[in-house]
Amino acid sequence: MSILKTLLVITISTARLIFPGMPGDPSASEGAKPTAVRSLNIELASDNAVEAASKASMSIPEALGYGKSVDLMVERSAPEKSEPSKIELREYWGSSQNIAADQPKITTSSKHTDEDIDDSVPDRSFAFWPSTNPKSFEESTDLAGVYTLKSNFCANTSVTLTKDQNFLEPLNITTSATQADLSRPITVRWKPVAGAVGYILTAFGGNEKYSITWTSSAKPELARRVI
């Protein structure tokens, strides 16, 4: 059973997609890099089941350009549970130059049990906004203000965002991708982002037989909750 009965998440994101070797390499000038995409997402998870008449909306600051409120898309049925593919997961963590003796942590899909499933998040119903890919917000968009949730299948609530919770500047990696030697530890450098309270890096790889993940966090279980 879930610990939480209802969970409301507002995610504010500044993202820039860059692949090593493509135009807009991390070492390139700011003008040559891909445009940063600024987005705001609202997610509502509840232990209450929904019906045909179930609905949820959120009043938002008019500065966002979507009027006074937006309607959340309510999923009418729980997602189907599928059998996990048989794959080996190799997990690495930490920011040392050397791999620790207890790494990687290796698990396989056949070894997963119900205890491995995170039951801290309610999952009987889910609502979200936006339901489609929206246009990116302008850099000058002011997100500060009161966000009030109204719903007929779970509790109502309000959240206030302050000026220091506006969009951050995009993260600029200063390490050149052409310098990476995949057989050796890779040093990643970046310019500090004003207003950031912390940084976390992740990397993924693998094939049809195994998956490899790495996080800079010393506690990978906490990093998974952040990401």
- Domain ranges (residues) in the chain: 1-78+123-168
Identify the sign of the CA torsion 126, 132, 136, 142: negative
Residue range 1-78+123-168, CATH number: 2.60.40
Residue 95 tokens read as 């920011």
How many other CB atoms are found less than 10 A from the CB of residue 69?
13
The predicted model gives 54-65 an average pLDDT of 96
Is the pTM value of this prediction over 0.75?
yes
CA neighbor of 154 nearest in space, from 7, 2, 33: 7
Fill in the DSSP letter of residue 20. T
How much is the pLDDT for 133?
81
Provide the pLDDT confidence category of residue 212 given band limits of 50, 70 and 90: very high
More confident residue, 178 or 207: 207
Provide the pLDDT confidence category of residue 81 given band limits of 50, 70 and 90: low
Task: State how beta strands 88-93 and 210-215 pair.
Answer: parallel
The answer, yes or no, to whether residue 8 has pLDDT greater than 60, is yes
